[in-house]
Amino acid sequence: MSTPAPHDGDRSLNRSMLIKLVVMAAVMFAFGFALVPFYRAICQITGANNLVKRDATAADARNTQVDTARTVSVEFDANARGALTFEPEQNALDVHPGAVTVVKYRVTNGRGRTVHAQAIPSFAPRVAGEYFEKIECFCFTQQTLAPNETREMQVVFFVDPKLPRDVKTITLSYTFFELNVPAGKTASAGDAVPAIDAARVGASPRGA
């Protein structure tokens, strides 16, 4: 028994559905790339977690009084998207407010091609972000990683002595994600740039 040929109406419906799916995929793919400049615009307007400017300079640090009578515990959290491996050299350390401190991170590009990536910082509690002064940070600029490259990077910072005294622990968290996807390749879940909720800028991913 022969199978009846599909009607022209069915072909038209299938073609229409295919076109809609392709357009939707293209829009979602483009939206992923648009998130980074959108986030930067929010940062420049609100001043929160600004990726393109330093929080302070070495001169600011030299002019800041070190409070040796007080200790703040700083925890370091690292997250990565895609084929990036990202981790801090140490998970936590105790610092005196006003004292310049250096902490190192290591990122590895697990892909066999060059990757452009960006790190986004956040803090917990949120108020701590106003007093955590970054003098040098890999998050200020995009990072270009060669195929299978491992890079060591550092953050130079100090905690402003004006930090509220009830804040005894600060969590500095970075999310490192890939910005580029090769032409002709559909973005997968591992490639997608994470969605950024403007209302949560500066909040910790742990929800602390």
> Among 185, 188, 174, which residue's Cα sits nearest to residue 137?
174
pLDDT tens figures, 7-33: 666 667 777 777 777 667 665 655 554
Whether 85 has a pLDDT exceeding 70, the answer reads: yes
Distance CA(88)–CA(101), nearest Å, equals 14
Q: Which helix (H) or strand (E) holds 79?
A: strand 72-80
- Domain 8-182+189-200: CATH superfamily is Ctag/Cox11 (2.60.370.10)
Whether 184 has a pLDDT exceeding 60, the answer reads: no
- Number of other CB atoms surrounding residue 68 within 10 Å: 10
Q: Give the helix ranges, DSSP H, for 68-194.
A: none
pLDDT tens figures, 58-82: 777 777 899 999 999 999 999 998 8
> Among 151, 159, 177, which residue's Cα sits nearest to residue 123?
159
Give percent above pLDDT 90 in the chain: 52
Residue that the structure tokens 């370091």 belong to: 76
Q: Give the helix ranges, DSSP H, for the chain.
A: 8-46, 58-62
Distance CA(28)–CA(22), nearest Å, equals 10
Low-confidence winner among 40-54, 58-72, 105-119 (lowest mean pLDDT): 40-54
- Measured in degrees and rounded to the nearest 5, phi and psi for residue 78 equal -135, 135
Distance CA(90)–CA(139), nearest Å, equals 18
> Among 149, 152, 176, 154, which residue's Cα sits nearest to residue 79?
176
